[in-house]
Amino acid sequence: MVKRNVESEALYREVARLLVDRGNCVALTGAGVSAESGIPTFRTQGGLWEKYDPMEFASIEAFRKDPSKYWSLRGEFIKDSDLYQPNNAHIALAELEQMGIVRCVITQNIDGLHKKAGSKNVIEIHGNLMEIYCLACGKEYKAPYVPEGMPPHCLCGGILKPNTVLFGEELPVDVFMKAKETSATCRIMLLVGTSAIVHPAASLPYLAKENRAKIIEINIEKAFPEADYSIMEKAGTALPKIVDEINKFSHE
């Protein structure tokens, strides 16, 4: 398959046609899809892991030693979570689900913005920052209603932890099995805003390819060389363009 880049409008028409003809599309998203909502990515210029050592701030080992490190990294976002809104990329993916083209969004993001945008079938393989629970008694808390304190404690005195997968933690087995099954049975995978290097999520596009799915990458840099189509464009621009092209077909 010849690689195609974003320069031609024809590329958008071809990708839109493929989505309409094949359907059964699964989106695998990463931090890049939320970048235009003002949420920092991890590994691009100025990303979170340039400022913070993930092993010191976002590993389960570090959390057990000193939970305030992770809370210092994520506490602000949790308290201000209502301020973060879905951008045009999240909205376009929800529209593609309503059109019956995207049947599932598998996201590595923990910001909850796909659901906020209206996507119904979302697999949050790294969990969700908005869900917080007590490690001692299991009581659940919902962002932004988190008790004061660094780290915040439950009424029972236990430490609170967001329901996110930290480095060194296994992904919930049932959740990842569902993501694998979904990836292995799709006919197109939209790979949106991910460096596609963190496993086990990074294995999903290969699973899709094994099933002869076409991979369409939307990114501002080439992250997945095995993609059949590469749209080098911001997700908030590229995805609405694809939706527009599909709408043109239905008016032809």
Asked if residue 194 binds ligand APR (CB under 6 A), the reply is: yes
DSSP assignment of 79-137, as one string?
HTGGG----HHHHHHHHHHHTTSEEEEEE---S-HHHHTT-SSEEETTEEEEEEEETTT
| Cβ atoms of 161 and 67 closer than 8 Å | yes
Q: Are 224 and 196 in contact (CB under 8 A)?
A: yes
* CB distance 60 to 210 below 8 Å: no
The distance of closest approach from Cβ of residue 139 to ligand APR in the complex, given in angstroms and rounded to an integer, is 25
114 catalytic? Reply is no
Residue 35 near ligand APR by CB under 6 A: yes
Q: Using the minimum distance from each CB to ligand APR, give the nearer residue, 195 or 230.
A: 195
Assess 193 for contact with ligand APR (CB under 6 A): yes
**In the stretch 38-67, what mask flags binding to ligand APR with x, by CB under 6 A?**
---xxxx--x------x-------------
119 binding ligand APR? (CB under 6 A): no
CB of 238 to ligand APR, least distance (A): 7
Dihedral angle at the C-alpha atoms of 124, 129, 133, 135, nearest 10 degrees? 90
| Residue among 23 and 240 whose Cβ is closer to ligand APR | 240
Cα-Cα-Cα-Cα torsion 238, 244, 250, 251, nearest 10 degrees, comes to -150
Active-site residue (options: 90, 114, 126, 153): 126
Please tell me the distance from the alpha carbon of residue 100 to that of residue 58, in angstroms, as a whole number: 37
**Counting contacts by CB under 6 A, is residue 30 touching ligand APR?**
yes
Active-site residue set: 126
Q: Provide the binding-site residues for ligand APR, judged by CB under 6 A.
A: 30-32, 35-36, 41-44, 47, 54, 108, 126, 193-195, 198, 218-221, 223, 234-235
